[in-house]
Amino acid sequence: MTDRATDRPPGPTTPKAQGIAAEVRRRIVEREWRQGDRIPDEADLATEFGAARATVNKALQLLADEGLLDRRRRAGTRVAPAPIRKATFTIPIIREQVEQAGMAYAHRVVSQRLAPPPAALAVRLGLARDARLIHLVTVHEGDGRPFQYEDRWLNPAAEPELATVDFRQMSANEWLVRNAPYLRADIAFHAANASARDARLLDIAPGRAILVLQRTTWNEAGPITSVRLACHPGFVMTAEA
Amino acid sequence: MTDRATDRPPGPTTPKAQGIAAEVRRRIVEREWRQGDRIPDEADLATEFGAARATVNKALQLLADEGLLDRRRRAGTRVAPAPIRKATFTIPIIREQVEQAGMAYAHRVVSQRLAPPPAALAVRLGLARDARLIHLVTVHEGDGRPFQYEDRWLNPAAEPELATVDFRQMSANEWLVRNAPYLRADIAFHAANASARDARLLDIAPGRAILVLQRTTWNEAGPITSVRLACHPGFVMTAEA
DNA sequence: GGATTCGATAAGTCTATACATATCTCGCGC
DNA sequence: GCGCGAGATATGTATAGACTTATCGAATCC
């Protein structure tokens, strides 16, 4: 947009593929092409837009990833009958989340000890009942008030450096995000009434509704960590499509 | 890798770009290339993998989208210092959600009437206080028991066909997913203690923690719909990375 | 010393071409 | 009529080459 320079006539130079994607998206949204319709093939669109087929392919690929188009070899490209749209949210570093909200961040380790996993966890992670894990409970604070509290199990077998980290210096959340890339993650959230323990650690009344995130990450050596993250009441998680 | 023509057996022939992406991902996860490191440039990797630069570009693009790499012109490609990972979840058709859980789906329109938007909503949607919206309250049931209940405002100005749909036949949720592609969506969730109304419509005790989704979608003509979706206690939303 | 300019570099994009592959369609033989 | 194999066709993927653009870093000028 802000692209004065020598001032080429039209201006901002959007990549061609994106321009094509936008135009196709418009035709779908404005019902020029309706749900289930077959749209012209790549070669025809390439001619129409004065682009190479590879460029049109990129554009349509993009819309297929968005869920707006269904594409099959030989069968052609159709407007998805039920556009299954996806939303994405980012897994944040809690410190940054707090600081972006304009609060001063601090975190406090409530307990840390070596322990074998509870039965349910051992099953879920596929670990032996006598595996040696680190159990860590931490409260994240904003302006001195509890913001989120995490109950986390760490598996040094999958990530040896874990055994040497001082989690009072850097929270496990941040250390992991910065140092332990993972191959696979499971994420789930639900609402829960605050238990006595939740209430005490978050400094709220028992029974208040809190948002709970469960997250487990794996690398090639096995599960790295599994965490239950309880958010302060009023916490809103946002995503975009 | 498995790419001799004379040797079919291996089978599914993974695309080369994906193979390269997998190998780069492995080098990152196994710390061959550490957070913040600059990795070889596209031309070098192309030589190493015996591929064209465009193919390597595609592979690295992929990893950048995943959040594992930071790429900048001239500056080169680096392993992201804090791999900001994204998780995606799909916006489902509630009927399919219920049926996948093996329950019989039904829905029931609790109320439907034309009304101007409440002040807060008008502001949020950027509509005039006297806009004519449809206010619709629906309960989705699985095996005869309330599963989710939605409190929805629909804007026929952005989607004229809305005025003619019979929402007892097909739920607004499903009609919209199938018929009203959107350009932009806002999604947010939080936990809430069930109000008296929530409790009555979901057939639960007041105060129970419920997961609440707020979703608003727009097309080029303005906001299409804004919905508050209250899920039955115990509902778990899952996502993947 | 500090700001400015300019050239080199690496990613970003597009093109033209080629071949691979899934799958639809049609015609053949029974 | 029906199954089956042979094409035709649209997308999937890879290729080399060209040009564009952001930006780093060094040489230059005040």
Q: What is the pLDDT of residues B137-170, one digit of tens each?
A: 999 999 999 999 999 999 999 999 999 999 999 9
Using the CB atom, is residue B74 less than 7 Å from strand D? yes
> Pick from B56, B79, B102: which residue ends a domain?
B79
Share of chain B above pLDDT 90, in %: 76
Judge: A237–B188 Cβ closer than 8 Å, yes or no: yes
In a domain, A240, yes or no: no
Q: In a mutagenesis test of the B interface, which of A187, A204, A210, A225 is the best target, namely the one with the most B β-carbons within 10 Å?
A: A187
In a domain, B48, yes or no: yes
Task: With beta carbons under 8 A apart, name residues in chain A contacting B240.
Answer: 185-187
Whole-Å CA distances, B189 to A145, A221, A235: 22, 34, 9
**Do B101 and B209 belong together in one domain?**
yes
Judge: B192–A209 Cβ closer than 8 Å, yes or no: yes
Q: What is the pLDDT of residues B196-238, one digit of tens each?
A: 999 999 999 999 999 999 999 999 889 999 999 999 999 999 9
**Do B113 and B23 belong together in one domain?**
no
Task: With beta carbons under 8 A apart, name residues in chain B contacting A222.
Answer: none
Can you give the distance from the CA of residue A21 to the C1' of nucleotide C9 in angstroms?
Answer: 31
User: B210 and B202 in contact (C-beta within 8 Å)?
Assistant: yes
**Do A213 and A129 belong together in one domain?**
yes
> Pick from A79, A108, A134: which residue ends a domain?
A79
Write the residue in A82, A91, A238 that is nearest to B85 by C-beta: A91
**Do B191 and B220 belong together in one domain?**
yes
Higher pLDDT, B92 or A203: A203
B93 pLDDT tier (thresholds 50, 70, 90): confident
**Do A156 and A189 belong together in one domain?**
yes
pLDDT for position B5? 35
Intra-chain end-to-end CA distance of chain B, in Å: 26
DSSP H helical segments within B86-195, as ranges?
A: 94-100, 119-125, 172-179
Which chain B residue shows the shortest CA-CA distance from A241? B185
Alpha-carbon torsion (A76, A78, A82, A86), positive or negative: positive
In a domain, B45, yes or no: yes
Q: What is the pLDDT of residues B183-198, one digit of tens each?
A: 889 999 999 999 999 9
User: A127 and A120 in contact (C-beta within 8 Å)?
Assistant: no
Mean pLDDT over each residue of chain B, to the nearest integer: 90
List per-residue pLDDT tens for chain A, 241 residues long.
333 333 334 445 789 999 999 999 999 988 999 999 999 999 999 999 999 999 999 999 999 998 999 999 999 999 998 877 788 888 888 998 899 989 999 999 999 999 999 999 999 999 999 999 999 999 999 999 999 999 999 999 999 999 999 999 999 999 998 888 888 899 999 999 999 999 999 999 999 999 999 999 999 899 999 999 999 999 999 988 7
In a domain, A6, yes or no: no
CATH of the domain at A34: 1.10.10.10
In a domain, B141, yes or no: yes
Given a cut of 50, whether residue B2 has pLDDT beyond it is no
* Nucleotides on strand D lying under 7 Å from protein C-beta: 8-18, 20-24
101-140 in chain A: CB under 8 A from chain B: none
On whether any CB of chain B is under 8 Å from the CB of A100, the answer is: no
In a domain, A86, yes or no: no
Burial code of A87-101, b = ≥16 C-beta within 10 A, e = fewer? bebebbbbbebbeee
* Number of folded domains that form chain A: 2
**Do B133 and B193 belong together in one domain?**
yes
Given a cut of 70, whether residue B80 has pLDDT beyond it is yes
In a domain, A223, yes or no: yes
Alpha-carbon torsion (A14, A15, A21, A23), positive or negative: positive
Given a cut of 90, whether residue B12 has pLDDT beyond it is no
Range of B117's domain? 94-231
In a domain, B86, yes or no: no
Given a cut of 50, whether residue B74 has pLDDT beyond it is yes
B21 pLDDT tier (thresholds 50, 70, 90): very high
**Do B130 and B179 belong together in one domain?**
yes
Instruction: State how far residue A30 is from chain B, nearest Cα, in angstroms.
Output: 9
